[in-house]
Amino acid sequence: MTIKMDVILPGATLGVMGGGQLGRMFVHAAQAMGYRTAVLDADATSPAGLVSHEHIQTAYLDEAGLTRLAQVSAAITTEFENVPAQALDKLAETRPVAPAGSAVAICQDRAREKAHFVACGVDCAPHALIETPEQLAAISDDLLPGILKTARLGYDGKGQIRVKTRDELIAGWDELNRVGCVLEKMLPLAYEVSVIVARGRDGQVVHFPLQQNLHRDGILAVTTVPAPNVTEAVSQQAYASAHKIAASMNYVGVLCIEFFVLADGRIVANEMAPRPHNSGHHTIDACDVSQFELQVRAMTGLPLVEPVLHSPCLMLNLLGDLWFPGDATTQQEPDWAAVLALSGTHLHLYGKTEARKARKMGHLTVTGATPAAAREVALKAAAILGIAPF
């Protein structure tokens, strides 16, 4: 295969906007391949900043910070979808930025995101935009019960209120300070899946095998691959939709699309993330190439390959709650030694010193020879850690 002229080779520095755990795992992948890294994040103890060659400690829109990041980086990516799209546009004046600010801007706004799904011929939940009291008053009863979601800046179930009646809807919009929202009809979910694709500068798209995701309190709790409940028809439709959505944004990098599978077998797109995703963390230990490595390959112009799942697996999110067993008032370290005594367990902690409830502190991937074997060990690990059975 001939490598394109403008490929950015190992030895160069790759820049990342955002210093969270996704940035940290990206930095690990980039460094393993011989790249240097620069992370821009204001937090002196950010998970990615702690492991990067360079850590630029400024706000996302700080002129000097952005100038420095552009100066040292051969190409730049983002690990956080709420990085202001203007910051990415500014960087793109002098450096290749993947994904582009224009694609991130679509993903940052639930209304634009849903419009994009529809434009691609991909179904999403019935919904309506609420930006004014008139729009609120005009909401059709068909959308209730529903979930009121802020159009911007929501994650892990934050910025969402479940509303059964019109009165609850009115009170809910007040509670969300009357910011721009999307009201989505509550759908009868059979289960949830996600697809992670990577698209190169040349338009080639590859995808990981579909993941099945269990959420608890709006936060991802468990990912299982291969997805136990999916039919061939559902997975083919999800792959085709994800490819179409990526291509239509002229996307470069890793993109995750979350889907709901309904009780009647229909599949609807929920939301997308313009970056590696929590439901793809298992790819580090269970696939021959991880989602983070594919992000490196896509942004540098290196070849993409169709990833292969070499081991059935489950991924358990390790939330800060686990550091407070029972009703402990002081933080206690979970019994990692007991978990690591189980074969097939792969522990990832993000270097966050302060555990808080619902804070993502790390994840545990369990690989096994068969799906049943992986599940059995994952349930044992969950019992040790105080995670409810699944």
Q: How far is the CB of 55 from ligand ATP (least distance, A)?
A: 25
- Nearer to ligand ATP (CB atom), residue 270 or residue 345: 270
- Nearer to ligand ATP (CB atom), residue 33 or residue 129: 129
- Nearer to ligand ATP (CB atom), residue 122 or residue 187: 187
Q: Which stretch binds ligand ATP (CB under 6 A): 14-22, 153-161, 227-235, 284-292?
A: 153-161
Tokens representing residue 250 in the block: 């002229």
| Burial group, residue 102, by CB count within 10 angstroms (0-12, 13-18, 19+) | middle
- Kindly give, in sequence order, each residue whose CB lies less than 8 Å from that of residue 224, ignoring residues fewer than 6 positions away: 211, 212, 213, 214, 313, 314, 371, 375
Q: Which residues of 291-317 are buried (b: 16+ CB within 10 A; e: fewer)?
A: bbbbbbbbbbbbebeebebebbbbbbb
- Nearer to ligand ATP (CB atom), residue 60 or residue 259: 259
| Burial group, residue 123, by CB count within 10 angstroms (0-12, 13-18, 19+) | middle
- Should residue 215 be labelled a site residue for ligand ATP when binding is judged by CB under 6 A? yes
Binders of ligand ATP: how many residues, by CB under 6 A? 19
Member of 156, 168, 321, 376 binding ligand ATP (CB under 6 A): 156
Within 186-205, the residues that bind ligand ATP by CB under 6 A are: 186-187, 189, 192
Q: Could you write out the DSSP letters of every residue in 289-301?
A: S-HHHHHHHHHHT
- Should residue 125 be labelled a site residue for ligand ATP when binding is judged by CB under 6 A? yes
The residue type at 154: G
- Nearer to ligand ATP (CB atom), residue 180 or residue 218: 218
Distance CA 204, CA 20 (A): 28
- Nearer to ligand ATP (CB atom), residue 189 or residue 308: 189
Distance CA 126, CA 142 (A): 9
Within 245-264, the residues that bind ligand ATP by CB under 6 A are: 258
Point out which residues bind ligand ATP (CB under 6 A): 125, 147, 149, 154-158, 160, 184, 186-187, 189, 192, 215, 218, 258, 270-271
